[in-house]
Structure 1
Amino acid sequence: MSDPRPSSRPTTPGAPRGETRALVVSMVGSGILGLAGVAWGAAVGSQLVLFDGVVTLAGIALVAVSMVAARVAASRPTADYPYGRHAATPLAVAVQGAALLGALTYGASEAVTVIVSGGSDAAGAAVAGYGVVAAAASVTVALLLARYAPSSALARAELVSWRSGALLSGVVVLSGLAAELLMRKDLDRVAAYLDPSLVLLASLLMLPMALGLVREGGRELLEAAAPREIADAVAAAAERVRARHGLPDPLVRTTKLGRRLYVDVGFVVPDTDWDVADEDAVRRDLGEELDGLGYDVVAGVTLTRDGRLLG
């Protein structure tokens, strides 16, 4: 098999402006909402609100990690890193997921402790009020990040975090309304278990999102096949090139590492005249086809008469 990486050595000018803007928006939003959540939770004595605030504040450190990763991934190749450091992006995504898993584990364990100790005082309307404010803020930030998510794995990771926050805020609203209803019916003892129980529920609901980030980052670091939509687009491009040059069906391999997309296309040609100039023409044609994908593409093309050489 021909390794596509030596076929070109692109340089990357810097972190995409949209990606940097998305991370700044996420960091500012995390700071404001996180501080509000911690203060509100401490004031009304709600573990659920406090949990929401702590998780959101922890996001500041994660955004900082993402900003460093964006800068590192966008740095130019060096003698030590001749293909760049694009692995910083999936590494940061995996760290985001692992940190979210840690926060969920902490919240769930604290909730179990409160339940075992007899519950906590219910705050009712005050909790619901925070939930409404936090949900509105989370949805607003998520909508802003959605503009950048299609072209940035880091922005997508932040989007997942804010969607998780919106989900948790919805649980906070339900907790406050349910607690208020129970207290009006003199069911204070039942209401005391509502807050920690919903922390457990929220942790379970957010678990797939955290695992998804870990899986996405881990797959890229292990050089798994590119996501289906990207692989399909590359296969379609290879098919158009094949048809124009009268080549047989190709063997196509694709993997993604951050914004870098590695593509290896191999053709087993018949025993006729195919030379280096023909291979160069096919490679140039494929490169033009892949330019519109929005990634930093490194493409390799192999024309061979021995299919065993394609692996």
Structure 2
Amino acid sequence: MNERRALHESIAGAAVLGTLAVVWGIAAQSRVLLFDGAFILLGIVLSALSLMAARAAADVPSARFPFGKAAVTPLAIAVQGVALLGTLLYAGVDAVAVITAGGADVEPGTVLAYGLVTMTCSYALARWLTHRAPDSELVAAEVAQWRAGALLSLVFAAGGGLALALSSVGDVVRYVDPVLVLVACLVLLPIPLRLLRAAGLELLEAEPPAEVRRVLADAVTSVRTEFGLPEPFVRSTKLGSRLYVEVDFVVPDGAWDVTGEDRVRRALIGRLEPLGYDLWANVELTADPELAR
């Protein structure tokens, strides 16, 4: 519930700031403000996508989707990454075209004022969303965008201030607007790349984050000690809010029964539940090493 509420609030904040940026950019004839407004309004579409993904991921498993729809979370994050990367590439090409055409006339004081206003708003919203749903990956993606927006606004403010200081030096001011767009693209570029990397790793069923691996290793060691079991084969991966764990122990023939295996499974699950994931754990005790590998 907190996750969805936070996503709704992110959408509302983006609508206000995006509209402000577009109107301000049109009035000031500033490409950098229009780019920022378009970037923020794109965030509304991506936030709506995150909201739909959160609803789908929360659906219970069904006959058609026996493992649920947890994969929709990294899929939505990947779409966010692609959309943001495409926007940055387009803006970068347009800025280069403006520079080669001789720049553009923009009032640097407008850029400075806009940067200060949006930096304050973006940073405040990022902090608010962090407290709203601290454990949500979808909200974390939103927070990353708002923090980047705050940093970007700081760049705008600094660029506007520098342009004011250099306003008496030839035609330097004419290049401030497109150069700031290029700087913004470079500042924001790590965000879509990071989103695409994280989503790709999850969709390819890579190992979970280091903290999860550490807790899993500690849990397995504790269970081994409690039940006197040998070193197992351990496999794990994370898909959205779901954590898949498979632990296979090779034991002497006839030494364990189903009831004993269930005790081991419950002991492991109990140690992993504090992680807060939707846990799908499979623990097997087998006498055949080939089945464990």
TM-score, normalized by length of structure 1?
0.91
2:6 maps to 22
1:287 maps to 269
Say which SS state the counterpart of residue 193 (structure 1) adopts: helix
The question of whether the paired residues in 2 share the 8 Å contact of 1:259 and 1:296 is answered with yes
1:123 maps to 107
Residues 141-150 or 109-118, more deviating: 141-150
Residues 39-82 of structure 1 deviation map (CA, whole Å, 9 limit, x = unaligned): 11111122111111110011111111111111111111111101
CA drift of 1:307 comes to 2.3
> What is the one-letter code of the residue matched to 1:33?
L
Pick aligned residue for 2:144 from 153, 160, 170: 160
Say which SS state the counterpart of residue 266 (structure 1) adopts: strand
The question of whether the paired residues in 2 share the 8 Å contact of 1:90 and 1:153 is answered with no
CA drift of 1:147 comes to 2.4
1:261 maps to 243
Residues 84-131 of structure 1 deviation map (CA, whole Å, 9 limit, x = unaligned): 111111111111111111111111111111101100113111111110
Equivalent pairs: percent with the same residue? 49
2:57 maps to 73
> In the TM superposition, what are the counterparts of 1:32-47 in structure 2 within 5 Å?
32-47=16-31
2:70 maps to 86
The question of whether the paired residues in 1 share the 8 Å contact of 2:2 and 2:133 is answered with no
> What is the one-letter code of the residue matched to 2:268?
L
1:62 maps to 46
- Residues of 1 paired with 2:268 and 2:99: CA distance? 61
The question of whether the paired residues in 1 share the 8 Å contact of 2:223 and 2:264 is answered with yes
CA drift of 1:201 comes to 1.6
The question of whether the paired residues in 2 share the 8 Å contact of 1:223 and 1:257 is answered with yes
What is the root-mean-square deviation of aligned Cα atoms in Å?
Answer: 1.3
RCO higher in structure (CA 8 A, sep ≥6): 1
> In the TM superposition, what are the counterparts of 1:135-146 in structure 2 within 5 Å?
135-146=119-130
> What is the one-letter code of the residue matched to 1:191?
V
The question of whether the paired residues in 1 share the 8 Å contact of 2:39 and 2:87 is answered with yes
- Residues of 1 paired with 2:265 and 2:108: CA distance? 65
User: Any unmatched runs of 5+ in structure 2?
Assistant: none
User: Any unmatched runs of 5+ in structure 1?
Assistant: 1-16
Pick aligned residue for 1:296 from 255, 258, 278: 278
1:239 maps to 221
- Residues of 2 paired with 1:188 and 1:218: CA distance? 48
TM-score, normalized by length of structure 2?
0.96
The question of whether the paired residues in 2 share the 8 Å contact of 1:132 and 1:169 is answered with yes
Count the aligned residue pairs.
293
Q: Which runs of 4+ in 1 moved over 4 A?
A: none
- Residues of 2 paired with 1:307 and 1:136: CA distance? 60
